[in-house]
Amino acid sequence: MPEPLRLGIAGLGTVGTGVVRIVQTHAALIERRTGRQVVISAVSARSRTRNRAVDLSGYAWEDDPVALARREDVDVFVEVMGGSEGVAKAATEAAIAAGKDVVSANKALLAHHGQALAEAAEAKGHVIRFEAAVAGGIPVIKALTEGLAGNEIRRVMGVMNGTCNYILTRMESAGLPYDQVFEEARQLGYLEADPNLDVGGIDAGHKLSLLAAIAFGTRVSFDAVELEGIGRISIDDIRRAGDMGYKIKLLGVAQMTGRGLEQRMTPCLVPADSPLGQLHGGTNMVVLEGDSVGQIVLRGAGAGEGPTASAVLSDVIEIARGTRLSTFGQPAATLTEPVAARAAAPAPYYLRMELADKPGALAKVATVLGEEGISIDRMRQYAHADSTVAPVLIVTHKCTRDAVSHALSRLPATGVVLSEAVSIRIESV
Amino acid sequence: MPEPLRLGIAGLGTVGTGVVRIVQTHAALIERRTGRQVVISAVSARSRTRNRAVDLSGYAWEDDPVALARREDVDVFVEVMGGSEGVAKAATEAAIAAGKDVVSANKALLAHHGQALAEAAEAKGHVIRFEAAVAGGIPVIKALTEGLAGNEIRRVMGVMNGTCNYILTRMESAGLPYDQVFEEARQLGYLEADPNLDVGGIDAGHKLSLLAAIAFGTRVSFDAVELEGIGRISIDDIRRAGDMGYKIKLLGVAQMTGRGLEQRMTPCLVPADSPLGQLHGGTNMVVLEGDSVGQIVLRGAGAGEGPTASAVLSDVIEIARGTRLSTFGQPAATLTEPVAARAAAPAPYYLRMELADKPGALAKVATVLGEEGISIDRMRQYAHADSTVAPVLIVTHKCTRDAVSHALSRLPATGVVLSEAVSIRIESV
């Protein structure tokens, strides 16, 4: 029997507590599956006295995560604190410098500093694993890095922020406006301290950038992710999109195109009867497309104590079994600097506008669209109580976003469009 | 740079040809991801002259897969021939005896001989990997063995025979009877030479038994899988189940209960709006439930050249990266002999019968059900052109299958049930 694998756990919030709980309750199961014991040597958190409903008495305590990371009796530094800078970064760097393996749930840290951290770890023959950083309990890092390793990856998509998906599906099911559901989510504790991390798409964008690095063998480039949050999505658009057979999701898409690497985390329409369209509430979904395997869909809880701790444990068990993988599926030094695509690939767009209800109004809009090279796939005009305004929905054929933006900017001059037109990309899934 | 990893591929049907194609077209990508070259030394198949649209000229040819398995220049024996006995078994045994690692797509071989093969390989420090044997391109072996390794697995479910799911969804969408769609599937080449492997649930049962071994740390016990094919499913039941909000699937379920290990591959009703209920055509789906992670759903192509070859490559790449896992996630010698549950856990049942249209008929049926301890959740009686016969659907509350069987056996004696009553289990998903 090899020596026990000794963990140092930095962070005892929901996830850290969950990790402690699994290590304690499943010690025998883990030993059976790895051939060695997995034990906790030491822990660290901001408050030593907070009641966490797990017994920490058998572990050394460190006030400073950096000191924890350097301890002689720690083989694997488990970072479940969060934050892209500060102590999380310092402690992770210290762990690597001290020759430890690292298991991290910290998407922000890896999205900003993953390249440097991976190079440092790999130079010393140590690993950084981060299954818990993306889509909670869904083993998507493993599926992409290993399960689909024989594929050239074509596209990665995902609904990876459960709070946003909760807000959008709750708006639809309860017929409530964004602001009200946002407030509900806040009161339920679903939102980060800085809610823009959730509803601004930043958190999900971090995750997308990590998946893109593995998928395309490129350095993590979070700064190149096009980010748009869900704040402008109205209950009107959710309903109208539904009428046309679509759902609105905060959807991440990464694909390598002839024009470079495209990374977007933006509201999109997806077919209501697709797996992504059928995803309700806080559940996450990742779609992986490879040249041989076709489309693989993974669905599960994207957050919470159990699912996230399960992902941390899968990395710990991987290390305990002696598996040594590069952080991003190939040596970090071989990752290429991606060229960011300047614009998203062409797609159909959903357009919503309110027209003056008078003869020729629609013709004027159609003329503008036609002049910008946008052809109309489907159009629907709604009956209206107010006889001066006609709500109109248009689904276009594939066109560029530049064409849509340009056309929309010309609409006010027609004199028949009574409010700002809304456009949302329709992603083919 | 380490030495190249040298493959010997036994079988050049759809899957074997697909593996050759990926190794040839993605050589650089594989080398980047593994840090070494993956090359093919030799191949073997029944016919050397058949045109396979891949260039085999660079590889040695062996007429005998056993000779291939023993070649000095082969590190990994890739078995994509199929068949639980005969040459597939002999060649796999020869490969293990000769100290090779094995990558197999052969569910039948592993379901029947996996324990002996795994023990033999592990005694010599070699591995058997079989991602391609279960659910084609879906990386479910990896998800279960590694991604969920920190979980006590509660239940594994799956639609894992695309042909059966194709037949059932085609019956529904086209309104055609089983025999006709079966014949269609045969002509489309969707059926095995022995169609009972597909429609009898045997192929899917093999897959389930492999997942159960990993999930519960038990020896593969295919003989204990309760098997029932889809031959008795009528278009009437598909329609009536749909009326009640369900779809009929050939569903595999494995769970450890207080009464032992339950393994079933049988037609079941699942809610139409669940991921399993929304699965159409030949696609596969596997649902994994762990105590920490909750429910993880994996969806993808379960067969075909690209998806299955993708799964073979994931195993080859795992070996090329130096990862060494036990065949069933823990040493084969530590797998326990499972106690087979004598009967399925209680569940709601769907019952369909035709009643004589006369006063008191329904009361007589309800009395029999009540006397057997079966209570009714929902009941629907259909309008009928023929005034002497009333089609009736019943959804029961949870009850045992023994109770259902006993009740059904008593129905003819009531004198009001005009045809044999149909019962199908409703699985909570």
Q: Who contacts A303 (Cβ-Cβ below 8 Å, separation ≥6)? A: A136, A162, A282, A284
Categorize the per-residue pLDDT at A297 as very low, low, confident or very high, splitting at 50, 70 and 90.
very high
Shortest Cα distance, chain B CAs vs residue A151, angstroms: 7
At A389 the three-state DSSP class reads strand
Instruction: Write out the catalytic residue numbers of B.
Output: 207
At B9, list the tokens: 């591929």
Once rounded to an integer, what is the mean pLDDT over residues B89-99? 98
Q: How far apart are CA A275 and CA A427, in angstroms?
A: 13
Shortest CA distance to B89 belongs to which of B100, B76, B104? B104
The pLDDT tens digits of the residues spanning B143-196 come to: 999 999 999 999 999 999 999 999 999 999 999 999 999 999 999 988 988 999
Q: Please judge whether B139 and A142 are an interchain contact, meaning their C-beta atoms are less than 8 angstroms apart.
A: yes
pLDDT of residue A358: 83
Side-by-side strand order, sheet with A376-381: A376-381, A389-396, A349-356, A422-425
Query: Which of B146, B157, B279, B313 best probes binding to A when mutated, by most A CB atoms within 10 angstroms?
Result: B146
Give the separation between CA A163 and CA A229, rounded to whole angstroms: 12
Name B155's Cβ contacts closer than 8 Å, sequence gap at least 6.
Answer: B253, B254, B255, B287, B289
Contact A327, A317 (CB under 8 A): no
Domains and CATH numbers, chain A: 5-133 (3.40.50.720), 140-302 (3.30.360.10), 349-425 (3.30.70.260)
Q: Is the pLDDT of residue A385 over 80?
A: no
How far is Cα B403 from Cα B372, in angstroms, rounded to an integer?
A: 6
**A202-219 residue pLDDT tens:** 999 999 999 999 999 999
Residue B33: list chain A partners with CB under 8 A: 149, 217, 329-330
d(CA B142, CA B325): 10
Cα A187–Cα A246–Cα A253 angle in degrees, nearest 5 = 75
A51 touches chain B (CB under 8 A): no
ipTM of predicted complex: 0.96
Residue A382's pLDDT is what?
84
What single letter denotes the amino acid at residue A19?
V
DSSP, collapsed to helix, strand or coil, labels residue B131 as helix
Contact status, residue B197 vs residue B235, Cβ threshold 8 Å:
no
Q: Which pLDDT belongs to residue B379?
A: 93
For chain A, say whether B321 makes contact (Cβ under 8 Å): yes
Kindly tell me if the per-residue pLDDT of B349 is higher than 80: yes
Let me know how many helices (H) and strands (E) chain B has, helices first: 14, 16
Tens digit of pLDDT for each residue in A102-136?
999 999 999 999 999 999 999 999 999 999 999 99
CB A5 within 8 A of CB A36: yes
Six token digits for residue A300: 């599960």
pLDDT at residue A185 tops 80: yes
- What distances in angstroms separate CA A214 from CA A45, A204, A219, B193, B336, one per listed residue? 31, 16, 9, 40, 38
Global pTM reads 0.96
- Cα of first residue to Cα of last residue in chain A, in angstroms, is 48
Judge whether A337 and A218 are in contact, CB under 8 Å: yes
Taking 90 as the threshold, does the pLDDT of residue B287 lie above it?
yes
* Axis crossing angle, helix A107-123 with helix A202-216, rounded to the nearest 10: 30
Residue A414: which of A350, A351, A366 has the closest Cα? Answer: A366
- A 189-218 → B contacts, CB under 8 A: 217
Residue A290 pLDDT more than 90?
Answer: yes
Query: Quick check: A238 and A171 in contact, CB under 8 A?
Result: yes
What is the distance between the alpha carbons of residues B424 and B228, in angstroms, rounded to a whole number? 11
Q: Where are the extended beta strands (E) located within A277-343? A: 283-290, 294-301
- Per-residue pLDDT tens over the stretch A189-248: 888 889 999 999 999 999 999 999 999 999 999 999 999 999 999 999 999 999 999 999
pLDDT grade for B389, boundaries at 50, 70 and 90: confident
Picking from A215, A68, A23, the residue whose alpha carbon sits closest to that of residue A134 is: A215
Q: Mean pLDDT over residues A406-414, rounded?
A: 94
- Note whether B387 contacts A: Cβ–Cβ < 8 A: no
Q: Known catalytic residues of A?
A: 207
Interface test with B, best of A33, A153, A216, A285 (most B CBs within 10 A): A33
DSSP B135: S
Burial of B235 (0-12, 13-18, 19+ CB in 10 A): middle
Write the DSSP string, A223-252.
Answer: GGSEE--STT--HHHHHHHHHTTEEEEEEE
Contact B139 A149 (CB under 8 A): no
Q: Could you tell me how far CA B207 lies from the centroid of its own chain?
A: 4
* Distance, CA of A4 to CA of A31 (rounded, Å): 9
φ/ψ (deg, to 5) at B289: -120, 120
Total length of chain A: 429
Q: Does B329 touch chain A (CB under 8 A)?
A: yes
Q: Treating both helix axes as pointing N-terminal to C-terminal, what angle do A305-320 and A27-34 enclose, rounded to 10 degrees? A: 40
What spatial distance separates the first Cα and last Cα of chain B, rounded to whole Å? 48
Question: Is the pLDDT score of B386 beyond 90?
Answer: no
> Which DSSP state fits B43?
E
Q: Which of A324, B337, A396, B60 is nearest to A408 (CA)?
A: A396
- Best residue in A5, A9, A292 for a mutation probing chain B (most B CBs within 10 Å): A292
* Contact across the interface for A310 and B331, Cβ inside 8 Å: no
Residues of A in contact with B143 (CB under 8 A): 139, 142-143, 147
- Do residues B136 and A296 make contact, with C-beta atoms less than 8 angstroms apart? no
CA-closest candidate to residue A250, choices A226, A215, A224: A226
DSSP string of B195-232, one letter each residue: THHHHTSHHHHHHHHHHHHHHHTB---GGGSEE--STT
Contact B17, B305 (CB under 8 A): yes
Helix axes B162-174, B235-243, angle to 10 degrees: 80
Label residue A116 exposed, middle or buried (CB < 10 Å: 0-12, 13-18, 19+). Answer: middle
Mean pLDDT of chain A: 95
| Cα–Cα separations (whole angstroms), residue B200 to A97, B170, B232, B370 | 58, 18, 10, 33
Q: Where residue B344 falls among pLDDT bands split at 50, 70, 90? A: confident
- Taking each helix axis from N to C end, the angle separating B27-34 and B305-320, rounded to the nearest 10 degrees, works out to 40
Contact status, residue A418 vs residue A364, Cβ threshold 8 Å: no
Our CA-based measurement puts residue A391 at a distance from the nearest CA of chain B, in whole angstroms, of 32
Contact B135, B298 (CB under 8 A): yes
Q: How far apart are CA A315 and CA A129, in angstroms?
A: 6
Per-residue pLDDT band at B229 (split at 50, 70, 90): very high
Position B359 scores a pLDDT of 84
Q: What's the CA gap between A217 and B42, in Å, rounded?
A: 30
Q: How far apart are CA A22 and CA A306, in angstroms?
A: 9
pLDDT of residue B381: 87
Per-residue pLDDT at B357: 83
